[in-house]
Amino acid sequence: MKWITFPPVVAILTIMIARSFGEGSIVMSIDLSIWGLVWLLFIILSVLYGMFIHYGFMIGLVPLQAVAQGIILCPMAIIYGARMFQWLGVLLAVCGSAALLVAYNQEEASRHKIVVLEVEDDLKQLPVNFAITDETGAVLNLTNDMLDVLGLSRLNMIGKNISEWFSPVSKTAEIGGKIWDIKRIGLDNGKRFYFELTPKGLPSGDSDSDGSGGQGSGSREPVQFIDQDTQLHTFNYGFARISDELYRAGRYGRAVSAVMLRLVFPQLLPTDDMEKYVRPFRAYCARVKNDLRQSDTAIQTGEFQFLIVLSECPYQMVENVIERLSSITNALVPTFEEFMNVTVLNVYETFEGGNNVPVAQELIDRMTNAMTRKYSANALS
């Protein structure tokens, strides 16, 4: 139905109006070059109008229509002698252009607001039991898994003080009949705080390596979530996420899959320096990380080797993921010629229904041994 308002269709009415209010016949000619410019602009605006309809930019249709009809009305008013409509055409074109600019800015602002909401939704879906509070302890945001642990709804948590459920200065808490380790990290110079709950006994994502004892938790550096070289999760943080995901899969019967990938670069001579493959490997890891979902976790577990844990991923989907990630090497060939003869080794396993779900370290050892069994010693060297 919207195509009835296509500018060439409406232009028929515009020409008829200009002719009826003029002398009814051509009274003045216009140079051919002017006609060429007018029709070129009109065709471009008509194509743009069709694109607006196709992409759903409805707010821009009326302004664009005004510009198109204004441009065509100016010469038509001149040749038919309807001089008063000549300036009406100019007014339509100018006002339509201004309105189109305003409509575009409104759409851009609206689009960015939607992106922010999507990021917030992604935050809620992260498979980690964590909450973010302000400096007073009031809850600003938290994941759905944190809500499951506390047994509350989001409306009952946002704005409430975190101390109603556990002490923010304690190292452990008893919630739902289970003991949890509490990790607390200061953000924005103490303006916000990050709290993460991990089942007692599982490794924490925070590398508590300073043994001085003289440094309080407030002076500790925030945990690093992303490795700056590979763009994968840092090992400590990723290990904690994997531990949490495996625990949740076992307790709630959720499907979780693990994939281990290893890049084998051609080494022509024993004296070849493997350092030349470090940059290509890091570039590959960065592309892999961008291809994964927010809820997936990827950590490096060896030289040119990394582990990916895919949350809510059944067995039927794993091979598609591996195929997609393996094909990334082809896209990197123009940048890194080392990928021309690279081999991507893989092993994977899926745990469904909460049966025989290993802990994080057991999973890493299990996948590494599976890689060794699947491929020869020469392939792994």
282-335 pLDDT, tens per residue? 999 999 998 888 788 999 998 889 999 998 888 888 999 999 999 999 989 888
Q: Which two tokens stand for residue 218?
A: 């407030």
Question: What pLDDT, in 10s, does the model give residues 93-137?
Answer: 899 899 988 888 877 665 443 333 333 444 555 667 888 888 777
Query: Domain range holding 209?
Result: 126-219
- CATH number of residue 201's parent domain: 3.30.450.20
141 has a pLDDT exceeding 60 = yes
Residue 298 forms part of a structural domain:
yes
- pLDDT-based confidence at residue 367 (cuts at 50, 70, 90): very high
102 and 191 housed in the same domain: no
Residue 228, domain member (yes or no): no
Does the global pTM surpass 0.75?
Answer: no
Within a domain: 14: yes
Q: Which two tokens stand for residue 256?
A: 């979780």
Integer CA distances (angstroms), 232 to 95, 173, 223, 318, 367, in order = 51, 30, 14, 19, 18
At 377 the pLDDT is 53
- Give the model's pLDDT for residue 353: 67
Instruction: Show which of 116, 150, 184 is a domain's final residue.
Output: 116
Q: Are residues 245 and 349 in the same domain?
A: yes
Residue 241 shares a structural domain with residue 367 = yes
Q: Could you tell me if 79 and 213 lie in one domain?
A: no
Q: Give the end of a domain, one of 116, 151, 180.
A: 116
Instruction: Tell me the per-residue pLDDT of 244-280, one tens digit each, with 9 for 90 and over.
Output: 888 878 877 888 899 999 998 876 555 556 778 889 9
- The pLDDT score that the predictor gives to residue 127 is 63
Looking at residue 166, its pLDDT comes to 80
Q: Given this model, what pLDDT does residue 201 score?
A: 60
* CA 210 to chain CA centroid, nearest Å: 35
One domain, residues 112 and 130 = no
pLDDT value of position 114: 32
The answer to whether the CB of 156 falls within 8 A of the CB of 131 is no
pLDDT at 246: 85
- Residue 140: what are its φ and ψ, rounded to 5°? -95, -40
- Neighbouring CB atoms inside 10 A of 42's CB total 18
Domain count, the chain: 3
Residue that is last in its domain, among 96, 116, 136? 116
pLDDT at 51 over 80: yes
Residues 42 and 101 in one domain: yes
The pLDDT value recorded for residue 54 is: 75
- 109, part of any domain: yes
pLDDT digit string (tens) for 186-235? 777 667 888 888 887 654 444 443 333 333 334 334 446 788 888 899 88
Residues 319 and 326: their CA atoms lie apart, in Å, by: 10
**296 and 343 part of one domain:** yes
Same domain (yes/no): 371, 246? yes
The SS3 assignment for 321 reads helix
* Contact partners, residue 123, CB within 8 Å, separation at least 6: 141, 143, 294
Identify the bridge partners of residue 184 per DSSP, sorted by sequence position: 195
pLDDT at 105: 81
- Whether 227 is covered by a domain: the verdict is no
**pLDDT for residue 148 is more than 80:** yes
Residue with tokens 């993460």: 196
Please tell me whether residue 95 adopts helix, strand or coil conformation. Answer: helix
Q: Is position 150 within any domain?
A: yes
CA 359 vs CA 11, 88, 267, 325: distances in Å: 70, 75, 35, 25
Cα(349)–Cα(360) distance, integer angstroms: 13
Q: Are residues 64 and 32 in the same domain?
A: yes
Residue 359 shares a structural domain with residue 330: yes
